Amino acid sequence: MVTAAVGAPILLLVLYLGDWVYGLAIGLLAVTAGIEALRLVGLGTRRGFVYGGALALALWQWAVAFRSGDPAFALAVVNLSLLGLVVHQVLTHPRTPTRDTALAWLALAYVAVTFGHFPALRALPQGLRFTVTTFVYVWVFDTTAYLVGIRWGRRRLAPRLSPGKSVEGAVAGSLAVLAVALIPGALFPSFLALRLGIGAAVIIFGQIGDLFESSLKRFAEVKDSSRLLPGHGGILDRFDSLMLAVPAVYYLLRLWLGTVGL
């Protein structure tokens, strides 16, 4: 509870400040999450992957957050990252099988692509409002689903992936998000249809993101992605829902802005 009470206000503050402050914060989160992802796919003790992956993620976040007007630069970072993995496999053969290279690419791409949408969403017109809305909806869903699941959860939502999650909790979380989406206000978009659309994106893709990270942990046979946050696990444990919800909301908004406007 202490970690959440301290972390949430700090995240909202850097989100409000935006610009390089938010870009730097998301970059640090992405690098940490990337190291955790490498650990979950069994490469956490391989220094070449860890150091190279951290550098690649830092460059990628810089490209997205501070060079967003230059897509060729961002693409170059992606190509160089893949080239780096290829060169690493060649130089360390036979110690590095192709399987490890593929797993490293999965872990790094998973984190880079998802966290890369955080500054992209913030940079949209009214991006602060849309990002706050997404964060609030995810927190409302997770909190409600947890509390209802603890008290009334009977049917397991995905017993092989996350035995603690219940159908009752998921339904309650979804209803809570849709209820909040009905509330107009300065923090949320003015169009009701857009608020409901963002809510639906959060409900669907937030749960997928949560369950995907649970799948990684099941294969790794660990409870948390790391012990970085006391009582809350690691960065992936705290941001797994947002990591897929934010890109889903971003593309929904791009579609909305292109057809309806604000």
Contact 26, 61 (CB under 8 A): yes
Per the structure block, which two tokens stand in for 25? 């914060």
Percent with pLDDT over 70 in the chain:
94
Contact 181, 194 (CB under 8 A): no
Question: Is a pLDDT exceeding 70 seen at residue 64?
Answer: yes
- Categorize the per-residue pLDDT at 1 as very low, low, confident or very high, splitting at 50, 70 and 90: very low
Q: Which residues contact 219 (CB under 8 A, 6 or more apart)?
A: 40, 41
pLDDT tens-place string over residues 133-145: 999 999 999 999 9
Per-residue model confidence (pLDDT) at position 4: 59
DSSP-derived secondary structure letter, 162: E
Does the predicted TM-score (pTM) go above 0.85? Answer: yes
225 closest CA partner among 3, 10, 34, 11: 34
Question: Is a pLDDT exceeding 60 seen at residue 3?
Answer: no
Q: Which residues contact 37 (CB under 8 A, 6 or more apart)?
A: 107, 108, 110, 111, 216, 225, 236
pLDDT tens-place string over residues 80-125: 888 989 999 999 999 999 999 999 999 999 999 899 899 989 999 8
- Categorize the per-residue pLDDT at 6 as very low, low, confident or very high, splitting at 50, 70 and 90: low
